[in-house]
Amino acid sequence: MKEVMKELMDLQVGKVLEQEPLANHTTIKIGGPADLFVEPSSIENLEKTMKIIRKYNLKWRAIGRGSNLLVSDKGIEGVVIKLGAGIDHLEIDDDVIKVGGGYSLVSLATQISRKGLSGMEFAGGIPGSVGGAVYMNAGAHGSDISKILVKAHILFEDGTFEWLSNEEMEFSYRTSVLQKKRPGIVIEAVFKLEKGNREEIVAKIQENKNYRKETQPYNYPCAGSIFRNPLPQYAGRLIQEAGLKGHRIGGAKISEMHGNFIVNAGNATSEDVLALIQHVKDVILEKYGVKMETEVEIIGRK
């Protein structure tokens, strides 16, 4: 890795760190070290980084703001690319916006609401980056990313870049083509919004933010919703009815505020969280015959 690190630093691609703990970059504050951690300072420098990764045939993966992510205590093999500062540009052209994958989704929703643009009110309070939100078709309050996305600029596993249309993204509930069929990361997105009443849009965003503060435990480190809703049922409701709120394994605890959140109540490890996830799956299957699937992405060395 020393040689790779030297080449990346010589190219001045951005921040380059060895053995960087991923706990510093996830909202649940859990995760072992990345062999190499790179935060490119532009899309051009991301392309340079990918050329070096391909040259050395290294494993890699990208992260955004680290929500909806559980990283192994043993860390991640190869290179972790963080889309952050430098890939967080925003261009507004009438009712069409182009935004970098590293841009905060909450900040974006707030910014465009002030411009009197409607369509992202659902995102008020959703943590994470634009790239991550497109990747998993994030949504709330009856809407989601698929309703507003025109196209997304994708970096694929083989290092190639391509724009995919909304149709090509093959969106469905909390998923897209990028999760299984064509693994890749979102480095830019273009959204089409609607002009509306600025005051009403701003008020709706604030209402959604307040709802999250009142119903979800963001005062503790957490990864967001742990399970997908097994529709027509809701994960949080099933967990609550099963009496699992407050159940704890090690430093990981099911929130007493919302059943579909596991919080880091103090020095939790990924093993603690995984054990708690498995416990919930077992109890819900036994009590209700419902198979729970995780929404949080679990990555890293086993």
Q: How far apart are CA 107 and CA 133, in angstroms?
A: 13
Residues contacting 212, CB < 8 A, separation 6+: 124, 125, 126, 218
pLDDT of 140 strictly over 90: no
Return the pLDDT at 187: 95
Contact between 187 and 87 (Cβ < 8 Å): yes
Active site residue 165: no
Domain boundaries, the chain: 2-82, 90-215, 235-299
Q: How far apart are CA 239 and CA 255, in angstroms?
A: 10
pLDDT of 159 strictly over 90: no
pLDDT tens by residue, 249-289: 999 999 999 999 999 999 999 999 999 999 999 999 999 99
Domain 2-82 -> CATH class: alpha beta
Statement: 90-215 belongs to CATH 3.30.70.20: no
Q: How far apart are CA 38 and CA 4, in angstroms?
A: 11
Choosing from 20, 121, 188, 295, the catalytic residue is: 295
Q: Residue 298's pLDDT band (boundaries 50, 70, 90)?
A: very high
Active site residue 225: yes
Choosing from 129, 225, 255, 270, the catalytic residue is: 225
Return the pLDDT at 75: 97
Q: Residue 20's pLDDT band (boundaries 50, 70, 90)?
A: very high
pLDDT of 55 strictly over 90: yes
Residues contacting 286, CB < 8 A, separation 6+: none
Give Cα separations from 146 to 19, 105, 173, 188, 195 (angstroms): 36, 14, 9, 15, 18
What's the CATH number for 235-299?
A: 3.90.78.10
Q: Residue 219's pLDDT band (boundaries 50, 70, 90)?
A: confident
Choosing from 20, 39, 174, 255, the catalytic residue is: 174
E-state strands within 172-255:
184-192, 194-195, 248-249, 252-254
Helices (H), the chain: 2-10, 43-55, 105-114, 130-135, 198-215, 235-241, 270-288
Return the pLDDT at 190: 98
End-to-end CA distance of the chain: 21
pLDDT tens by residue, 33-46: 999 999 999 999 99
Strands 76-82 and 60-63: parallel
Q: How far apart are CA 126 and CA 133, in angstroms?
A: 9
pLDDT of 32 strictly over 90: yes
pLDDT of 157 strictly over 90: no
Q: What is the mean pLDDT of residues 182-210?
A: 94
